[in-house]
Amino acid sequence: MIPSLHSGRLCREGFRASVRRPRPSAGGTRRYSADDVERMRRIADLQADGLHLSGIGRVIDLEDQNEALRKDLAEAREERGGDDGGDPAE
């Protein structure tokens, strides 16, 4: 059985897998941002696909690296004068 997104266990394990921690409030409760919730949805999807938490953590790390590289590439293209070389992933 796959735990729901609201499951405390999924949240704890998911954040452990993605090496993220929610921001605690002054009262000590966990505060999740919209990005945190989206990440948890992604973790739940990967878990539903049969990945274990170590694999989920690796997938998320690679997705984060990919996003950072795409941003760097877009910035470099913009600095070169808006080179419209297209998306190399397409």
Residues in the chain, overall count? 90
CA 22 – CA 4 distance, rounded (Å): 18
Average pLDDT, consecutive stretches of 10 residues, N- to C-terminus, the chain (90 residues): 50 56 74 84 92 90 95 94 62
Q: Determine the pLDDT at residue 77.
A: 93
pTM above the 0.85 mark? no
Q: For residues 16 and 12, what is the distance between their CA atoms, to the nearest angstrom?
A: 6
Check residue 23 and report its DSSP letter. E
- Report the pLDDT value the prediction gives residue 17, as an integer from 0 to 100: 55
User: Which residues are CB-contacts of 56 (< 8 A; sequence separation ≥ 6)?
Assistant: 14, 17, 18, 43, 46, 47
